Structure 1
Amino acid sequence: MSEVTHEEAVKTMAKIIKDVKFAMLTTRTAGGELYSRPMTTQEREFDGDLWFIGSKDSEAVADMRERPQVNVSFSHPDKNNYVSVSGMAELVEDRAKLDDLWSDFYKAYFDGKEDPNIQLIKIHAQGGEFWESSGKLVSFFKMAQSAVTGAKPDMGKNDTVKL
């Protein structure tokens, strides 16, 4: 068992996430089923929140509008690194943030940054788990509370497992 601080956990998750181009965003449908979709990972440092760009008329956005509890998973099997983040989705309208996140990649999905169908999605992380190639499994919870309050979360104990 080892102790991992909130800062160390976020730093490790950020390191893993930055190497993964696409994440799987899981929502709950109106019928109660879990449904996952690929989303482009933003080239931003993970700080406890995740950002995505989606379509206002998509089923994913409709799901998040009604049932904001989500999970986002990142997988880099070549490095044997994985991250799972649970949190609450917020649908955001913020022109400055769109300018910050926009890349030419999105031209394949939208008619430029002015497309009225663009929806910013902010995931407020509440908890997460990551696995590193070293074989350490580190769990941490209460991340959202810490992100909101700035207080150091109770990280609990962390297990080491061989993968």
Structure 2
Amino acid sequence: MGQAQSPHQNLSGNSAIKKIKELAEEARTCFFTTKIGTEAHSIPMSLQEVDEEGNLWFISSSESEHNSNIMEDPKVQLYFMNNSSYEYVFIKGNATVSKDKNLIDKYWTDFANAWFEGKDDPSVTVISVKAQDGYYYETKDNKVFAMAKMVFAAVTGSSNEDGGIEGGLKV
């Protein structure tokens, strides 16, 4: 029995940054994982932006476990899923924590008020993740058509492509 395959397209440099920006900003929320290779610690976090250099920005608390983990080891992994569009991106990178007021002002949203007492709360920090590499998968057809192709391949045992495209990302 065959298995559905996706065309493979690795991206690097500005093309990789553009793809990360497109997919991560559409998904908005990721599992943010610290302590890679030991006792991994993952929490959901909301993305503020992917900038032109490929840095991913988050608002966080200086009192959080993941901020402490980043101070011990900056290696992180981010897992974004946009199930409604069958789009996924996995990113490995290095994180830094900052209390820079200009960055806090830039990335502050009303949504952050749920965790802080305003942007002047002394525990507010921003986390920047410098993407290094990763992997993506996205449908290139509309969701219904892509699902139909996958079902057809599963039922018939054909090895038709599954309506998606995937590949490595190297920033």
TM (normalized to structure 1)?
A: 0.79
Q: Find out whether 1:32 has 2:38 as its counterpart.
A: yes
**Equivalent residue for 2:15?**
8
Deviations 1:110-129 (A, max 9, x none): 01011001111111111121
The Cα of 1:9 is off from its aligned counterpart by 2.3
More helix by share: 2
Deviations 1:72-108 (A, max 9, x none): 1110011110011101111112111111100111111
Please tell me the residue identity of whatever aligns with 1:11: K
CA RMSD of aligned residues (A): 2.0
Q: Unaligned regions of 5+ residues in structure 2, if any?
A: 1-7, 141-163
Q: Residue 56 of structure 2 contacts residue 130 of structure 2 at CA under 8 Å; is this kept in 1?
A: yes
The SS at the match of 2:48 is: coil
SS at match of 2:14: helix
Aligned AA (1:137): E
Q: Report if the CA contact (8 A) 1:13-1:46 is conserved.
A: no
The higher-RCO structure (CA 8 Å, 6+ apart) is 2
Using the TM superposition, give the Cα deviation of residue 41 of structure 1 relative to its aligned residue in structure 2, in angstroms.
1.3
Q: Structure 1 residues 140, 19: closer, same or farther in 2, change over 3 A?
A: closer
Q: 1:1-163 residue pairs with structure 2 within 5 A?
A: 2=9, 4-28=11-35, 32-45=38-51, 47-134=53-140, 135-141=164-170, 143=171
TM-score by length of 2: 0.75
* SS of match in other structure, 2:27: coil
Contact 1:27–1:36 (CA under 8 A) maintained in structure 2: yes
What's the CA shift for 1:13? 2.0
Max Rg structure: 2
SS of 1:98's equivalent in the other structure is helix
Query: Identity over aligned residues, as a percent?
Result: 31
**Length, aligned pairs only:** 141
